[in-house]
Chain A
């Protein structure tokens, strides 16, 4: 049996989570009533849990061949963007309003990941103009063309 390296540990955790979800789905399907409503979920859950356990056992034994997991560098790169995206979606969009939150999130993400130097004034001007143009297009598309009513904005 090979040593537990980072990708293998990730596979064990990943497939373990999937197996746990499968087991929960299976448990709920077989214990909830009315049983007629859970006839199809039971069928699916049984196959789900068998395949999930198979994948989990393979991961534990180090037999997983597909999927590279996430390297530390990739994780460090994606973490700030993912955190901002999650704050934007799960709090700011409703709390601050769609357009305000999107403007802030768009500008922060652009500034975080833009390869242009942060010290150059020109690149900041470019980011501000890009954000303004994007928001103008979004407002035109969703508010004016599709008439989508979004939650009330904090500033207007």
Chain B
């Protein structure tokens, strides 16, 4: 119950102001198609340099929570999901808007997001300290395998191709070795003076998430999207609340599904929303109404995608393993303040950890309150032309990456990685495992070197890294996640092939 002691810290004028700013800004950014939560959080990191660690995390955490919820606005009113997590929301949400129930759909979406989100953060509050204590048992070999696990799980589960996902992770791990070696001081892969200090994580994050999106917008050309937001009529909030209670089964399914999926590293909100929608449909007596503007589908999808936000931070805050690309960006936000997740965070910086977690809890409620009022404005922002969004994001990316260390080298690294990532994505590679490789590379390497030294002085390399139940368990999870993803990939291809034959 340690979190209660730090509850007051959320309500200091600066902290609460930042929470409001992150929430309102996140709702508007989330409603903008093309601005994913990960990209929004990455672009916000440079603004946190001058803030204290807890303040910076409050801003980033609030933006993360509300961008996921804000994505529902464009999903409902424009049929364009603001983020991949809102794909399932469009299925019934937009139909409701077309049926003249746009306001009700928005209200239900924010209310169910808040319920799911609060449950997810409570899970984060009660699971994190327990797991953080468990992390004390981890030695260098375990931490090495954990870092590898983080890369392989996201590489295999988050990518359409297992091999390309793992290859993306390898590219990230290699990029992390660029610069001077920590122990010997030797130069490694410094092909250009800009790489002398290694690759700055923040500049890399901005480049890898923002620049491909900018180029994708360029690739669409001078096309007018022709999207027009559906006008919403007023709807009493009491009606939406009573409707939410009427469909409590859908909300329960969504909340539980989202929370469980959030705990699994690498499985994003997009899957949480779709799985919850599917499960809710299976258990519903009105399953025929799904897809025609039925509130149950909307409630299940929205409660799930916000319920996964809190649990997705559990592996990050306890074991330093980001559970999602956005969690990886948040890890970058922690590292720039010299704070390492795990026991260090809870033992030495409990104020930072708990203020951040508590702010996410309050943020869910603020998101719901403001969401209901900002939705109309957010829908107008969602209609901003892609040309303007591309130019704005490019400008922010250049200024943001420069402001990290006032270095043009960081801007060049940001742009080079961004352009490279765009082309890699066109060939089936994925940014998430690459980012994880880049972030977890130094953790993997330092523990590998430390473990090698211990191994040389004791039993040898193989028994040290491949012996012991915890090492074997972690290796088994790495192998199983790769094999499972490979199996699923083969199965889906066979399914597609059969469909093709039938067609």
Residue numbers in B under 8 Å from A65 (CB-CB): 161, 493
A115, B224: Cβ atoms under 8 Å? yes
Kindly state the interface size class of chain A when it binds its partner. 35 or more
B174, A74: Cβ atoms under 8 Å? no
Tell me the complex Cα distance, A55–B423, Å: 15
Residue numbers in B under 8 Å from A149 (CB-CB): 406
Q: Is B143 positioned at the interface, with any CB of A under 8 Å from its CB?
A: no
Known pairs A39-B449, A47-B170, A148-B406; A66 contacts B385 (CB<8 A)? no
Tell me the complex Cα distance, A110–B173, Å: 37
B394, A41: Cβ atoms under 8 Å? no
A78, B219: Cβ atoms under 8 Å? yes
Select one of B391, B402, B448 contacting A106, CB under 8 A. Answer: B391
Tell me the complex Cα distance, A50–B445, Å: 20
Report which residue of B174, B385, B402 has the largest number of chain A beta carbons within 10 angstroms of its beta carbon. Answer: B174
Q: Is B50 positioned at the interface, with any CB of A under 8 Å from its CB?
A: yes
Q: Is B215 positioned at the interface, with any CB of A under 8 Å from its CB?
A: yes
A109, B390: Cβ atoms under 8 Å? yes
Q: Is B415 positioned at the interface, with any CB of A under 8 Å from its CB?
A: yes
In the complex formed, the residue of B with least CB distance to A45 is B174
B398, A54: Cβ atoms under 8 Å? no
Tell me the complex Cα distance, A43–B444, Å: 11
Q: Is A156 positioned at the interface, with any CB of B under 8 Å from its CB?
A: no
Q: Contact mask A35-59 → B, CB, 8 Å, 1/0?
A: 0111111011101100110110010
How far is the CB of B100 from the nearest CB of chain A, in Å? 29
Select one of A39, A40, A66, A98 contacting B164, CB under 8 A. Answer: A66
B221, A40: Cβ atoms under 8 Å? no
Residue numbers in A under 8 Å from B423 (CB-CB): 14, 70
Tell me the complex Cα distance, A90–B192, Å: 14
Known pairs A11-B427, A15-B427; A102 contacts B415 (CB<8 A)? no
Q: Is B177 positioned at the interface, with any CB of A under 8 Å from its CB?
A: yes
In the complex formed, the residue of A with least CB distance to B170 is A48
Known pairs A18-B167, A40-B444, A89-B411; A138 contacts B188 (CB<8 A)? no
A113, B222: Cβ atoms under 8 Å? yes
In the complex formed, the residue of B with least CB distance to A46 is B170
B221, A44: Cβ atoms under 8 Å? no
Tell me the complex Cα distance, A69–B425, Å: 9
Q: Contact mask B51-63 → A, CB, 8 Å, 1/0?
A: 0000000000000
A25, B174: Cβ atoms under 8 Å? yes
Tell me the complex Cα distance, A19–B284, Å: 50
Select one of A37, A82, A106, A114 contacting B184, CB under 8 A. Answer: A37
A102, B399: Cβ atoms under 8 Å? yes
B218, A113: Cβ atoms under 8 Å? yes
Tell me the complex Cα distance, A3–B44, Å: 47
Tell me the complex Cα distance, A134–B390, Å: 13
Residue numbers in B under 8 Å from A32 (CB-CB): 186, 188
A89, B177: Cβ atoms under 8 Å? no
Q: List B428-463 residues whose CB lies under 8 Å from chain A.
A: 428-429, 444-445, 448-449, 452
A37, B186: Cβ atoms under 8 Å? yes
Q: Is B249 positioned at the interface, with any CB of A under 8 Å from its CB?
A: no
A113, B411: Cβ atoms under 8 Å? no
Residue numbers in B under 8 Å from A89 (CB-CB): 398, 411-412, 415
Residue numbers in A under 8 Å from B218 (CB-CB): 77-78, 80-82, 85, 113
Q: List A66-97 residues whose CB lies under 8 Å from chain B.
A: 66-70, 73-78, 80-82, 85-86, 88-90, 93-94
Residue numbers in B under 8 Å from A88 (CB-CB): 394, 398
Known pairs A65-B161, A86-B415; A36 contacts B184 (CB<8 A)? yes
Tell me the complex Cα distance, A89–B47, Å: 21
Q: Is B49 positioned at the interface, with any CB of A under 8 Å from its CB?
A: yes
30 chain-A/chain-B pairs, Cβ below 8 angstroms: A15-B427, A18-B167, A22-B170, A32-B186, A34-B184, A36-B183, A39-B448, A39-B452, A41-B188, A48-B171, A64-B427, A65-B161, A67-B429, A73-B221, A78-B215, A81-B390, A86-B415, A88-B394, A89-B398, A89-B415, A93-B402, A93-B408, A98-B398, A110-B391, A113-B218, A114-B388, A115-B387, A130-B388, A134-B395, A148-B406
B residues contacting A by CB (< 8 A) are 46-47, 49-50, 159-161, 163-164, 166-167, 170-171, 173-174, 177, 181, 183-184, 186, 188-189, 214-215, 217-224, 385-388, 390-392, 394-396, 398-399, 402-403, 406, 408, 411-412, 415, 419, 423-429, 444-445, 448-449, 452, 493
A residues contacting B by CB (< 8 A) are 10-11, 14-15, 18, 22, 25, 28, 32-34, 36-41, 43-45, 47-48, 51-52, 54-55, 58, 64-70, 73-78, 80-82, 85-86, 88-90, 93-94, 98, 102, 105-106, 109-110, 112-115, 130, 134, 138, 141-142, 146, 148-151
The 6 closest A-B pairs by CB, nearest first: A67-B428, A113-B387, A66-B428, A81-B218, A77-B221, A37-B186
